[in-house]
Structure 1
Amino acid sequence: MMDVETESTGTGTSVEETTENLCDNPTRDTLAEGLMGLLKPTVDRLDERVRATRISQLELKQELDSVLDELKKIAESQKSLPILDEYVKKLMVSKQKITIVSALLQNSQERLNKIHETVAKESARRRIILETEELASTSGVNKKKPKMTKLLMDTPILSHITQSDYLTVYEPAEDSYLMLDALEKEIDVIQELQPVVCLEVGSGSGINITAFSKVFPSCFCFCTDINRRACEITLATSKLNDTVIECINADLMKNIRPNSVDILIFNPPYVVTESLEIKSSKISRAWAGGIKGREVIDNFLKIVPDVLSEKGICYMLVIDENKPEEITNIMSDMLFDTTIVVKRKAWNEKLKVLKFSRNG
């Protein structure tokens, strides 16, 4: 069992303290139910109409197929009626059009299903906002502004990943869970930021980007990984945990639109190794960082100012051997402030999660 010493500090909301205030909240429940009442009937009616139209289209298609077969038989048996050929061609064209319409209706129904999911997620988000506002109105002791309800960054389900998968994809370890702790500690900051786009570089198993997406479902979450198998595993993790994530098989942040990312997450290969190990095709590439464990990190840092939005924040994990003070100076030269979000000792490694944000 790993001996872990936690050096970070944080505050959390007591369940016993908040439960008393939130047990009976008719205003919150009424507003949440009202939101669902406004959106759900409309979506349900659209869903029913699309379903009924699809059924009608399928029935019409079957009837046309039957008529087409009969006309072909008549055309074959009565060569003296060449006019039927024209009608057969028209029916075939109609059949093609119906097939296209049917495909469009199917796509529409799939979109409606996604709208159902979005409505449910939005209702849950609104409920949290209502709880927060109610806390603000009922706990104004000494006129102090209350803190928002603390959300949790739950660890995603990873039961689909096998031991053979971990031969080629990085297995979540202390560094992965420390990044989760850092993101959880920063939830209030991220909520206030209201991110539109979140990018994780080097997603591996998908543990961090999936956890982030569950807490911030309205944020567009995507990731990159140089390992194609890691991309496949990340998408499977996202699907198993009911989140929507896009994954790109790419090195670092190539071809990312400038200044478009609000939250940037990077758990890099930070172990001090020979430079050649970085280009290895083995699993060691997932942790091999080259000289000072910084070769991949330094390439990443050069791109951060170009990718991060004006209000954007970057979270990156390092160890003491990576010389965090040098990293701080590098980012300072690029007009970024650096702070330590959390730190922890695991075996012989002293892990830290650094936070970069633009000056001012």
Structure 2
Amino acid sequence: MGLEDRRDLETDVYQPAEDSHLLASAVLEHLSVDETDLVLEVGTGSGYVAGRIDAETDARVVAADLNPHAVRQARTDGLEAVRADLVSPFADEAFDAVVFNPPYLPTDPDNEWDDWMERALSGGEDGRAVIDPFLEGVGRVLATGGVVYLLVSSLTGVDEVAAQAGEAGFSAVSVADESFPFETLTILALYR
């Protein structure tokens, strides 16, 4: 990979941060899978979370992102990666677990800019512009008995997201959280 390609990844792909580490740790602590299980990470960004799951479990892991630079980085790092808008291209009931660190920062539409990093961060005015359609569609690709691990910020409204998950047919359980100066991050496990 050339210097210019690396620069693209640094400016166009969400790299691991506190939220990535919390999500990976929570998933690895709570996920029970074997070599026949299939795990999907939606919005993989750098591929950090998918890479940890791939390295530390026997499951087959698929990393997906709308950002072509993120897909390229995940593939370069040895992950099975596909370009996808949320869960739209995947088969019904294909995954035993789905993991998602969505764009969740509430953003004033007048202050948004149009690039890949903005898409990785901005959750629209209420922080749920990507979370809500994800919750509406993820049940279709989840196998019977499967689980969704979703990272949610207090800036987005954990109770509001849990209520939306309930409307989509899930029960939500908090399995991890961590407080930072401006927000608390919570990992919700969603079950049908």
TM-score (norm 2): 0.89
RMSD over aligned Cα atoms: 2.1
Task: Give the whole-Å Cα distance in 1 for the aligned partners of 2:99 and 2:110.
Answer: 25
Which residue does the alignment assign to 1:337? 171
Which residue does the alignment assign to 2:118? 284
Which residue does the alignment assign to 2:70? 230
Aligned pairs (5 A) from 1:153-302: 162=6, 165-187=9-31, 190-191=32-33, 196-217=37-58, 219-237=59-77, 239=78, 245-275=79-109, 280-302=114-136
Which residue does the alignment assign to 2:143? 309
Over 3 Å counting, the alpha-carbon distance change for 1:276 and 1:306 in structure 2 is farther
Task: Give the whole-Å Cα distance in 1 for the aligned partners of 2:191 and 2:9.
Answer: 35
Q: Which amino acid aligns with 1:353?
A: I
Aligned pairs (5 A) from 1:317-328: 317-328=151-162
Over 3 Å counting, the alpha-carbon distance change for 1:255 and 1:278 in structure 2 is farther
Shift of 1:194: 6.8
> What CA deviation, in whole Å up to 9, does each residue of 1:17-53 have, x standing for no partner?
xxxxxxxxxxxxxxxxxxxxxxxxxxxxxxxxxxxxx
Shift of 1:276: 6.7
Task: Give the whole-Å Cα distance in 1 for the aligned partners of 2:141 and 2:111.
Answer: 27
Aligned pairs (5 A) from 1:1-150: none
Secondary structure of the residue that 2:149 maps to in structure 1? strand
More helix per residue: 1 or 2?
1
Shift of 1:232: 0.7
Task: Give the whole-Å Cα distance in 2 for the aligned partners of 1:319 and 1:220.
Answer: 28
Aligned residues: percent identity?
Answer: 29
Q: Which amino acid aligns with 1:199?
A: L
Secondary structure of the residue that 1:182 maps to in structure 2? helix
Over 3 Å counting, the alpha-carbon distance change for 1:265 and 1:279 in structure 2 is farther
Preserved CA contact (<8 Å) 2:63 2:81: yes
More strand per residue: 1 or 2?
2
Shift of 1:195: 5.7
Preserved CA contact (<8 Å) 2:67 2:116: no
Secondary structure of the residue that 1:321 maps to in structure 2? coil
Secondary structure of the residue that 2:39 maps to in structure 1? strand
Preserved CA contact (<8 Å) 1:278 1:289: no
Preserved CA contact (<8 Å) 1:195 1:262: no
Structure showing greater Rg:
1
Unaligned runs of 5+ in 2: none
How many residue pairs get matched? Answer: 188
Task: Give the whole-Å Cα distance in 1 for the aligned partners of 2:112 and 2:53.
Answer: 28
Over 3 Å counting, the alpha-carbon distance change for 1:281 and 1:184 in structure 2 is same
Task: Give the whole-Å Cα distance in 1 for the aligned partners of 2:35 and 2:166.
Answer: 25
Task: Give the whole-Å Cα distance in 1 for the aligned partners of 2:112 and 2:146.
Answer: 29
Unaligned runs of 5+ in 1: 1-160, 240-244
Preserved CA contact (<8 Å) 1:195 1:263: no
